[in-house]
Amino acid sequence: MLILGLNGSPQKEGNTVQLLREALNAAEQLGAKVELIHVVDGLEDALMPFCNQCCDPCVGACAHNNKLGDIYDLLAKADGIILGSPVYFGTVSGQMKGFWDKTRILRRNKTLLNVVGGAVSVGSARFGGQETTVRALQDIMLVHGMTVIGDGYEEDDCGHQGACAQKPAAQDDFGLKRAAIMGRRVAQLAKATIGLRKRP
C-alpha cells in the first residue's frame, strides 16, 4: 500500500511539509509505504509551467521523459494521496494548480479513479483561507474520481473537511494532530478499498 504526500508549496521545508510529514508518519505506522513529493520538482524541467491544452484529447506530451512524467508514474501506483497547499489568496498555490492542470492524461486514463485522497492546508492567520483551499484541493481530486475523505478516524472523531493549520505549523499542535488523524484515515480506507483500484 503506497500513500503519497504531494507538497504544493514552493518551499520544500516549509509549513505545508510539516503537515504532510505528520500525516505520512501516521500512515506509515499503519503499515503503508509513504513518499513525499514536491510539485516544484515536477515542474522544474517543464517547457511551460501550466497547461495550454496543446492537444485535445490529451496525450500527456508535457510529461514525456521528464520529472513530471516520473511523478505521474508514481501517482499511478498510489493507493492514497494527501494533497497539501499553502493558502494563496484563498485558494491553492500556483504551483499546485499548474501541476494538476497538466494531469489531464491521468484523468483520461482513469489513473486515479478510486484512489483515496485527503487535503491539508496552512495559512498565515487562524482563519486565513485554509478551508477554501482544502475544498479546492478536494474538487481537484473529485474531478479525477478519487475517494475524498476528511480528517476523521474511528478512534478520534468524525473530523471536518481536512487538516488545517496556522503558520508556523510546527507550533500548531492542533493542526499537527488533525494531520496525523487524516494520515491514519487515508491509510485505513486505502487498505479497505485496494480491490477497487485497477493496476496494470
Domain boundary assignment for the chain: 2-196
pLDDT digits (tens, 9 = 90+) for 162-186: 999 999 999 999 999 999 999 999 9
72-96 average pLDDT score: 97
Does the CA dihedral 183-1-36-8 come out positive or negative? negative
Q: Are 51 and 102 in contact (CB under 8 A)?
A: yes
Return the pLDDT at 21.
Answer: 98
How far apart are the C-alpha atoms of 176 and 172, rounded to whole Å? 6
Lowest-pLDDT range of 95-99, 157-161, 186-190: 157-161
Closest of 52, 36, 38 to residue 3, by C-alpha: 36
The DSSP line for 102-131 is: TTHHHHHTTTTTT-EEEEEEEESSTTSSHH
Q: Which architecture does CATH list for 2-196?
A: 3-Layer(aba) Sandwich (3.40)
How far apart are the C-alpha atoms of 134 and 149, rounded to whole Å? 11
Residue whose entry in the numeric block shows the C-alpha cell 491509510: 187
pLDDT digits (tens, 9 = 90+) for 113-137: 999 999 999 999 989 999 999 999 9
pLDDT digits (tens, 9 = 90+) for 133-146: 999 999 999 999 99
Q: How many CB atoms lie within 10 A of CB 125?
A: 10
Entry pTM: 0.94
Residue 200 has pLDDT above 80, yes or no: no
Residue 3 has pLDDT above 70, yes or no: yes
